[in-house]
Every structure is written in structure tokens, then in C-alpha cells.
Amino acid sequence: MTNTQHFPSELLTAPIADRIAYFENCTIKHAMLEDVSKQTEQALYGHASPKVIMLAGPTGVGKTTLASTLYRRISKQFEEQMNNERDFMPILQVNAIAPTAASFSWKDFYVRILERAREPLIDRKVTAPHQLSLFPDERQNVVSDRAVADTLRRAVELCLLRRRTRYLIIDEAHHILMVNNPKRLEFQFEALKSLAIETKATIVLVGTYRLLDIRDQSGQLVRRSEIIHFPRYDHRKQKEKVGFVQALNTLAGRLPLSEFPDLQANADEFYIRSVGCVGILKDWLSRAYARHLELNNKLFNWDFIQGFAQPVKALETITAEALLGEEKVRDKPIADLMNLLHFGVPPEGEKKPKKRGTVVGKRLPVRDPVGEAYASA
């Protein structure tokens, strides 16, 4: 295991703000990230047909960081062509913003894509229907939300085609699933899928495990999409336990300190209070490191760092969500599929609970009336 420091030595005499910024902005390689990166790249380059890739994992595991790395890597790959053809944009990255109203706003989403693609005159994309000039009627003057979204959508399709965009990364994509009517869930995914087909781009949805709810909606959708799991480190698995300690040491080596801090001695505590998520660990160390410098604290050790961990309640919520998500990702035994194919028997746990049978003539258990009310009846 490497216990070495990796930062430019001049940082040790640099202003505090520079040292803090260095650590905050550094990105480390670690086993799980490498593994998921490889899977994602295989999914991106593996097929020619347009499709939707879902990158799902718990909060703070490093999904956004991975998406940004991919963005930079792909931009670099096409650098020469981008310099020669100024309108060429091989990759776009947008955020799906949480809805402020009841449901996700496609309008806002399309505008964000157009802005990212530096499309001119976005506010002029929505034109009133032709009939308005012929029949100036008050009621028709209102351009419906649906019509605006449809027009913007066509503008996005044209824009991505013109810019020859191959990959569209949508971060926080679970927000797209925030709809007031669960029946609309399938529609939300269909809209993305047809965007991929019309524009011939591959769409990468990055988000929490809530993304997987889509998959359970329909077999049609599963066929068109690929799910990539970005899990936290699970210390019940020896290999992952080692991977986490290595990530902890790598982060420790990036802290501009005169001596390498021995964090490994408290690896178990770091694991528990970061839930095995490297991003949560990194943010926690960042907070502690900033205070360490500002307070001119002597030792950067567990005793000092532990005070900057997230509250247990918050960590508990993240853990519960992660465990549920991991359960959703886990595949089923093949016997379940065989039972379904051979006998049409739904797998255990999905059977409807049987109604308890009643014996004819036997009274159902009810409470007999007692007390005064009964006596006076």
C-alpha cells in the first residue's frame, strides 16, 4: 500500500487558500472508479446504435466527477476536429434541475441543452401558430406549455444533429422522474429514448438509484438501455475493504502537509462515517483540512478530523438509500426466470398474498359489545 505524498512541494509555503483549493480540486484514481470508468467507456464505444446508458449509484460516490472526467476525455479525443470544424460538439453535459412545480420541466431542460450548445436566439424558438394572425382570438393567444416544449424539443433535435453531437450526458437525471402522476414515468423515459433515436446520440443518464425505477416499468425500455452500477465500497467484501483503505491513503497523500498523515490507523472509523463513499470522505477531509490550516492546528489526525464528519442521522439516510439501491441492482436467481417460463409462476415475493380462507358457519373474530351500552340495548 502506498503511503506517499503527491503534491507540488511549493504548496507547503503557499497561501492557505491555495493549499485548500489544491486539495478540493484534486481528483484521485481509485479501484471502484477505474472499474466503473472502464465499464462506461465500453458501453459508450461498444455499440453503433443510439441508446440510453444509466449510471446509477449512491449520493457522494463520485458520479458527477466521473461524468466530468468522461466529458474532458471525449472532448480531448475530438480536439483536432473541433478546432477545424467550429460547429462540431461531440459531447454535451447538462444538469436536469429538480422541478420547482409538481413535475419535471421539459421546457427548462431543453433550454439548458440549447444554452450549452451555444444555440443563438433561444428565446425566439417559440413562435405563435400561424392561425393567430388570421383569427385574433384571445383564447388562442395562449401558447400552451405542451406546444412550447414540442417546439423546443424540435430545436434541440435539430441543434444536436447540426452539431453532430454523439454523446449527451444528463447529470442528476433522477429529477426527470419526478412527476406527479406515476403513469407518466414511462412517458418520461420514452421522451429521452426518442431524443436518442432522432439525434442519433447516446444519452448517458447519471443519477441516484431512483433511476432504476424506470427499468422496472417495461421490458421494452430495458432492451434499449444499459445500466452501469457505481457502488460505494462495501467492507463486507475483502477486496473492496482494501480498495477503500487505498483510496483513503491516496487522499491523505494529496493533503499538502509537511508530514504524511496516518489515517489508515482509523480506516474503519473513516469507512463508517463516509459510508464507503469516496466523495463523502473527500468532502469531509476537505472541511477538516481547511479548519486545520485556519486554526493553525498541530496534528491532522483522527481526533481532530472526526469532528467534521456528517451527522450520523444524515449518514444513516444515505446508507439506507444505498442498501435499497444495491438490492434493486442485484440480479435474481435463474430459477425465478425458469419458473416463470415453464410454469408461469411469478417468483417468490412477487406472489400476491393469499386471502385467508374462512370456514363456512364459523364466526369471524369480532369484539363482542360489552359494558353499559350492551346492557341497555
Q: Which residues bind Mg ion (CB under 5 A)?
A: 63-64
**Which of 60, 256, 261, 325 is the binder for ligand ADP (CB under 6 A)?**
60
User: Residue 83 belongs to what H/E stretch?
Assistant: helix 79-84
Question: In whole angstroms, what is the distance from residue 228 CA to residue 37 CA?
Answer: 10
User: With binding defined as CB under 6 A, does residue 231 bind ligand ADP?
Assistant: no
Q: What's the length of the chain? A: 377
User: With binding defined as CB under 6 A, does residue 166 bind ligand ADP?
Assistant: no
Contact window for ligand ADP (CB under 6 A) among 63-71, 110-118, 126-134, 150-158: 63-71
Contact window for ligand ADP (CB under 6 A) among 56-64, 101-109, 118-126, 360-368: 56-64
Q: Which of 158, 171, 230 is nearest to 201 (CA)?
A: 158
Residues touching ligand ADP: how many (CB under 6 A)? 17
Q: Amino acid letter at 341?
A: L
Cell numbers found for residue 85: 470544424
Pick 212 or 263: Cβ nearer Mg ion: 212
Identify what 51 binds: Mg ion, ligand ADP, none; CB under 5 to 8 Å per kind: none
CB 156 within 8 A of CB 113: yes
* Phi-psi label, residue 272: left if phi above 0, alpha if psi -120 to 50, beta otherwise: alpha
Contact window for ligand ADP (CB under 6 A) among 35-43, 53-61, 115-123, 159-167: 53-61
Contact window for ligand ADP (CB under 6 A) among 24-32, 44-52, 92-100, 319-327: 24-32
Contact window for ligand ADP (CB under 6 A) among 279-287, 330-338, 343-351, 356-364: 279-287
Question: Closest approach of Cβ 108 to ligand ADP, in Å?
Answer: 20
Question: Closest approach of Cβ 174 to Mg ion, in Å?
Answer: 10
**Which of 150, 186, 283, 321 is the binder for ligand ADP (CB under 6 A)?**
283
β partners of residue 95: 171
* Angle, CA 25 vertex, CA 22 and CA 28 arms, to 5°: 100
Question: Closest approach of Cβ 66 to ligand ADP, in Å?
Answer: 7
β partners of residue 204: 53, 169
Question: In whole angstroms, what is the distance from residue 276 CA to residue 348 CA?
Answer: 31
Pick 31 or 158: Cβ nearer ligand ADP: 31
Q: Which of 310, 309, 301, 311 is nearest to 265 (CA)?
A: 301
CB 300 within 8 A of CB 82: no
Q: List residues binding ligand ADP (CB under 6 A).
A: 26-28, 30, 33, 57, 59-65, 278-279, 282-283
